[in-house]
Amino acid sequence: AASLSASFRSASRPTKPLKVIIAGAGLAGLSTAKYLADAGHKPILLEARDVLGGKTPTSGLPLYNFEVGAYPNVQNLFGELGINDRLQWKEHSMIFAMPNKPGEFSRFDFPEVLPAPLNGIWAILKNNEMLTWPEKVKFAIGLLPAMLGGQPYVEAQDGLSVKDWMRKQGVPDRVTEEVFIAMSKALNFINPDELSMQCILIALNRFLQEKHGSKMAFLDGNPPERLCMPIVNHIESLGGEVRLNSRIKKIELNEDGTVKSFLLNNGNTIEGDAYVVATPVDIFKLLLPEDWREISYFKKLEKLVGVPVINPFTKDLLSFKIYPFGMSSKEIPIFTLKWKLNTFGGKSYLLIRMQKSWSRDIIATTLGPLPIDSQANCFIEYYNPNQSMLELVFAPAEEWIACSDSEIIDATMKELAKLFPDEISADQSKAKVVKYHIVKTPSGMSWLENTWLGMASPYIHIEMHQRGFYLAGDYTKQKYLASMEGAVLSGKLCAQSIVQDYELLRTLGQRKLTGASIH
């Protein structure tokens, strides 16, 4: 990650910088612009909304944990921007709620002294609450082909759901229920019978191969300010531009199929030497010019829509935040990130993923086995000694997306009351919700699609580069699936292609000027 970053700074300065128009200021677009600016080019980043960061901020409040332990490009970016101190590391544990034992939690602790994969194996062996020894042995035997078969084996599992794969390997259903419902939902917000096993194996590999693969950190405040603004300042200090409220409506083409300009919603057009779309994949599908729909790798996009089992889930993620809880006589526990296996109203598909929260240090003692958290590990920005804030993800949410906010809050309180019966009751007679905000992201999980198609996101072939067109985004092919790391890496790879295509893009510009066609 560091050497790829350095390659932009050390690249020979272009005689005439390329003007690169980028649509979408999520992490992928920001990263593309940052690294292009580092290489001496002039990115113009156009964001449809009035807020930076795309899926990362969700309405300007911090929603996200960063699984940064194994995120080399994200960590490198923080270092480059001089903001490493904004990452608040959590202790290296995974904590599962146990639906059959309300208020109790099961931990997987990764010892710092052991290297990977021993730290992970130790964590699994030490946990006897979730899996029995015979189940652990069967699971380990089932995993053997994955350990021995490497990447080709992992990729070959894309057609199988987690549940089917477990059955095929002779792993008891109880293992899926105890561990993989929670893991599937925590990683991808869907159930194990809908999620591709490839996705789980990639994550497990990361956890097993990299010592800090599952270690988490939180950003210390809201992402647009604490992460995106430093990137924007960096881009602008090098002559690039970032414009909010600039929605791309159309990719306009020349007669020879090269990109002519981006047409904005306000009727303006903008021209450059190269064009990048870094919007979510569903938006890109809408923007895709008619003439390009027949191109083979864009045809894959059509197939993505057609994968029936995934389709509903691409549309129905509902995330919400509740903040802050007023304290009544009982205090609210501190929640570190937990992967929760829940049932709600008899529907076992519902997961509330606790993203993060904070409270007073002392409160942790009321929950014995929970890690003693500290203010430093929470959001300093929102610290209030008398209140707590919870941020949750509610998914899969296809049946909930049309519900009113109060129905969602009621469902949440019922769920939370099951998990924390001492502190929370559904009728709010214990902790009270004093303020909440619900954000619905109808296509928040569009990236799930490609997990079913062998990560078949459209490779942007040299043929597209010859048209001056590039893609970035968490759904494009890179090894970190759809994540903040995937988005940052995709932006870097996109910037790298553009830098490498300098001569090609210059020639393209010349041809455009002389009216010669491109084939």
Residues that bind ligand FAD (CB under 6 A): 23-29, 46-49, 54-56, 64-67, 247-248, 278-280, 283, 317, 319, 393, 441, 444, 473-474, 482-487
> How far apart, in whole angstroms, are the C-alpha atoms of residue 491 and residue 486?
9
Output the smallest distance, CB 483 to ligand FAD, in A. 3
> How far apart, in whole angstroms, are the C-alpha atoms of residue 342 and residue 348?
6
Burial of 10 (0-12, 13-18, 19+ CB in 10 A): exposed
Q: Which is nearer to ligand FAD, 415 or 423 (CB)?
A: 415
- Most distant CA pair in the chain, distance: 77
> How far apart, in whole angstroms, are the C-alpha atoms of residue 485 and residue 477?
12
Q: Which is nearer to ligand FAD, 65 or 387 (CB)?
A: 65
Output the smallest distance, CB 24 to ligand FAD, in A. 3
Q: Which is nearer to ligand FAD, 165 or 320 (CB)?
A: 320
Output the smallest distance, CB 510 to ligand FAD, in A. 28
> How far apart, in whole angstroms, are the C-alpha atoms of residue 489 and residue 71?
9
Output the smallest distance, CB 346 to ligand FAD, in A. 25
Output the smallest distance, CB 340 to ligand FAD, in A. 14
The DSSP letter of residue 224 is: I
Q: Which is nearer to ligand FAD, 18 or 393 (CB)?
A: 393
Output the smallest distance, CB 75 to ligand FAD, in A. 12
Angle between helices 229-237 and 72-81 (to 10 degrees): 60
Output the smallest distance, CB 427 to ligand FAD, in A. 28
Q: Which is nearer to ligand FAD, 327 or 487 (CB)?
A: 487
Q: Which is nearer to ligand FAD, 363 or 408 (CB)?
A: 408
φ/ψ region of 189 (left if φ > 0, alpha if ψ in -120 to 50, else beta) reads: left
The DSSP letter of residue 326 is: E
State how far the alpha carbon of 74 is from the alpha carbons of 234, 342, 392, 470, in Å.
16, 31, 23, 21
Q: Which is nearer to ligand FAD, 373 or 423 (CB)?
A: 373
Closest CA to 29 of 223, 231, 217, 219: 231
> How far apart, in whole angstroms, are the C-alpha atoms of residue 228 and residue 77?
11
Q: Which is nearer to ligand FAD, 161 or 188 (CB)?
A: 188
Output the smallest distance, CB 22 to ligand FAD, in A. 9
> Where is 248: in which H helix or E strand?
strand 248-253
Closest CA to 487 of 127, 131, 73, 185: 73
Q: Which is nearer to ligand FAD, 68 or 123 (CB)?
A: 68
Output the smallest distance, CB 97 to ligand FAD, in A. 18
Closest CA to 218 of 341, 352, 112, 374: 374
Closest CA to 28 of 50, 43, 42: 43
